Amino acid sequence: MPLMAGILLALVAGPLGSFVVWRRMAFFGDTLAHGALLGITFGVLTDINLTLALVLGSVLLALLLLPLQNRSRLSSDTLLGIVSHSTLAIGLVTLSLAQGIRVDLMGYLFGDLLAVERIDVLWILLAAILIAVLLFWQWRALLAITVSQELAAIDGHPVQRLNLMLILLLALLVALAMKVVGILLVSALLIIPPAAARSLARTPEQMVFLASATGVISVLLGLWASFHWDTPAGPSVVVAATALFAFSLVLQSLRDSRRSA
């Protein structure tokens, strides 16, 4: 179950993470992850399914952030920083004040891939299918608004709806990835594999494929390290992805030196 969950997330995090890198939305994903702790708090206090609470919390926060970014006088990174840290703090304080409720905060902060259950895999599978279908359906349109939203609007693409769709898909992935790598590391799963692929790819499609492949290899290496050295599974996956990113930089340097020779 842990292996299947990790691979499914890595496969869809590749294309979605590529848009995060292209559009410089890394901090947005981090904010969604921190804010999702409020969803956990709501789920614990109301005794509803925590996965559902996570998804609802992330989606509602994404819907709130979109108009705030457009109307706020603050810069985007400042606003996201305020929301990110304040929602994380509010969630932690609320959980600590709740009497008679014990929550594995370390598991949510750093993930617990080995504790993934069959129902979690089913959630991830359904989300992966939905994300893959929507990205494939709107691939060209999403690329167009990534290059230039003004030109995409002139070409007749529904820019606002596409932006909303991308943000909601990102919120869904972040909520489900928290079970694997945790609140504090979820952005790494979105950013590092596409960043490693970017230095080697020549087309957007190549970058998406390499990003997904890098994510899958990171999951395999991370789980192997976790079993072999008894290290935390989620952080081990991130460490493996970081090592692959460093390796991609070495390959890029060697390729550039050959071209200049």
What CATH number belongs to 2-184?
1.10.3470.10
**Sites in the chain below the pLDDT cut of 70:** 69-75, 99-105, 107, 114, 184, 261
Residue type at 187 in one-letter notation: S
Q: Please answer whether residues 188 and 238 qualify as being in contact, where contact means their C-beta atoms are separated by less than 8 angstroms.
A: yes
Question: Considering the entire predicted model, what is its pTM?
Answer: 0.87
pLDDT at 197: 93
Give the pLDDT confidence score for residue 83 in this predicted structure: 83
Task: Give the chain's length.
Answer: 261
Q: Which residue has the tokens 């890029």?
A: 252
Q: Which helix (H) or strand (E) holds 113?
A: none
Q: The dihedral of CA 241, 242, 244, 249: what is its sign? A: positive
What span, in angstroms and rounded, lies between the C-alpha atoms of 198 and 195? 5
The predicted pLDDT at position 15 comes to 93
- Rounded Cα–Cα distance for residues 14 and 197 (Å): 9
Specify burial of residue 151 (Cβ count, 10 A radius: 0-12, 13-18, 19+).
exposed
